[in-house]
Amino acid sequence: MKIESKGYFEQKPDPSPINSTKNQSDKVHGTVANTKTKGKFLTFGLLLTVLLSVVAWDYWNPNTSDLAMSQIDKTAPKVLEIEPQTISNDIVILGMIGADQIVPVVAPFDGVITNIYGQLGAAVTGGKVLLTLDTSEIEIQLREAEAETIRSRVALDLLKNWNSSGEVLRVQRSLKTAELLLLSLETKTTELAELFKRGIVSRNEYNGLIEQRDRQKFTVLDQQLDLERILARANKENTRLAELTFQNAQSRHIQLNNQKNRASITAEKSGILTRAPSLNNSALATPTIEPGVRVASGQALYAIADATTLIVSSTIDEVDVHKIRMGQKVTIESDAFQNKSFIGEIVSISAEAIETGSSSSVPVFEVRARFSPSNEIKSGVVRLGMSARMTIEIYKNPDAIIVPISSIHYIADEPFVGVKDKITNNIEYVPVELGQTTLDGIEVSAGLKSGDLIFIQ
């Protein structure tokens, strides 16, 4: 049935809210009172049912108004009071543990290994015998060196006493004899010349004596030259040469004797016995150490790793290498350390990139950090060759001002933060300088202070 509500909807509202409400109520009651048909009662019942349903829905869903308020709260501006906090920025790199100092154990002479007493990976003390070498070959060389030392010493002594040597004395005697004979001939020639003037001796006899005297003069001259030549053998150069020869022979003899005395090879210092360092990272360069193997003089047999200080070697890429420095503190950790960590310092940063064998890879640089876990090495917690993590703190600020990124506003590409005045409640945008970015926000290095109220959109 059609509801007659034209008059109700067309009636102009009263300017007064009270009168308007009263007029509308009167119209409704008048409509109900005047309606006597069955359709009008049904319409009123339908309206009442709808009204009760709305009231019941609001009663059984009280969160509806709260949800709306929460949506309003989320979009409404917020004010946050600044409190200083500590922030830090770290670099974590993986590396390998090695010895800081390695002392090689080398063969003192060419020989054959006879016995082995050292064990790889075991701790050794200074002076402990590691292995022994056969000395038969070096004993032959030692005897030859001793003979050469004796010969060179005799030769040197001869030159130092050359003027009294048998050869010099022989030439000196020959010269003296020749000079005496010449003197005798000179005397006879003088006497025969007087007799020749008197005509007592013939010219032939006189001339023969003169020829004999002249020949003796040449003989004396030759003897003098021989003496000078022989004496020249002991000059400074020859004497120095003999001294050097003797010194070399003596040094060689002493060296071989010392090498022979080192046939029992001992540890020079305490540490951990490791394999000899390989050449060019080649396993073929590492010698086999067992009885019967022949080794050469100077060949590395073992290495003793200093157990007091260790090194963690790692690499860092070209982006981060400028962020670290020599002497910087690092935290060294490993899953194998049984929840222990150590403090070390960076002792080496490579000035040249390491060749990785790939032209497309990012250049990396070697970084080495030193630490001293002496007690843990003895207990076996830390071992050579273990992997480790180096945590390098590149930035730390114990009183950092951290603000949400949403509080940063850019005006002409410059960062600003809205600060609320605690007295006037006015918002003033102040310029700030930004620092490190964190998971919670961004650091403000200048422009704000502790206790400021900032505006967050």
Name the token pair of 363. 């250049």
Report CA torsion sign: 237, 243, 246, 251: negative
Q: 126 with 270: CB under 8 angstroms?
A: yes
pLDDT, residue 121, reads: 84
Sign of CA dihedral 327, 328, 329, 335: negative
Residue 370 is which amino acid?
R
The confidence score (pLDDT) of residue 286 equals 58
Q: Are strands 341-349 and 414-420 parallel, antiparallel or unpaired?
A: unpaired
Mind listing the pLDDT tens digit for each residue in 227-268?
888 888 888 899 999 999 999 999 999 999 999 999 999 998
Contacts of 211 (CB under 8 A, 6+ apart): none
The lowest-confidence range among 4-13, 148-157, 198-207, 438-447 is 4-13
Tokens 């993986």 identify what position? 94
pLDDT, tens digit, for every residue of 363-411? Answer: 899 999 999 887 777 677 888 888 999 999 888 888 888 888 888 889 8
pLDDT of residue 358: 65
A 10 A CB-CB count for 301 gives 21
DSSP secondary structure of 62-104? THHHHHHHHHHHHHS-EEEE---EEEEEEEEEEEEEEES-EEE
Element (H, E) at 310: strand 310-317
Residue where the block lists tokens 């114990």: 398
| pLDDT single digits (tens) 16-67 | 333 333 343 444 334 333 434 444 444 555 555 545 554 444 444 444 334 3
Give the full edge-to-edge strand order of the sheet including 402-403: 402-403, 442-446, 433-437
pLDDT at 202: 87
Alpha helices in 199-235 (DSSP H): 203-231
pLDDT given for residue 167 in this prediction: 87
Residues 314 and 367: beta-carbon distance below 8 Å: yes
User: Amino acid identity of 173?
Assistant: R
Instruction: Return the bridge partners of 411, or none.
Output: 414
Q: What is the reported pLDDT for 199?
A: 81
User: How far from 334 is each of 154, 364, 374, 393, CA to CA, in Å?
Assistant: 68, 22, 16, 17
For the stretch 305-352, pLDDT in tens is 887 889 999 999 988 898 899 999 999 998 888 788 899 999 999 998
The count of residues in the chain is 457
| Per-residue confidence (pLDDT) for residue 343, from 0 to 100 | 92
In our burial notation (b when 16+ CB lie closer than 10 A, e otherwise), range 74-90 reads eeeeeeeebeeeebeee
pLDDT above 70 covers what percent of the chain?
80
Binned at pLDDT 50, 70 and 90, residue 360 comes out as: low
Check: CB of residue 373 under 8 Å from CB of residue 301.
no
The C-alpha atoms of residue 110 and residue 104 are separated, in whole angstroms, by 17
Three-class DSSP labels, 227-256: HHHHHHHHCHHHHHHHHHHHHHHHHHHHHH
Asked if the model's pLDDT at residue 197 lies above 90, the reply is no
Average pLDDT taken over every residue of the chain? 80
pLDDT higher than threshold 60 for residue 75: no
* pLDDT tier at 88, thresholds 50, 70, 90: confident
Buried b (16+ CB within 10 A) or exposed e, 232-265: eebeeeeeeebeebbeebbebbeebeebbebbeb
Cα separation values, 223 from 51, 159, 216, 217, 294, Å: 159, 21, 10, 10, 61
pLDDT at 92: 92
Six token digits for residue 123? 């701790």
Element (H, E) at 152: helix 136-160
* 267/232 Cα distance (integer angstroms): 53
CA angle, 131 as apex, 125 and 133 as ends, to 5°? 145
Residue 339 zone, left/alpha/beta (φ > 0; ψ -120 to 50; rest): left
Copy the structure tokens of residue 166.
């048998």
DSSP assignment of 347-393 equals EEE-SSPBP-S-TTSPPEEEEEEEE--HHHHHHTSS-TT-EEEEEEE
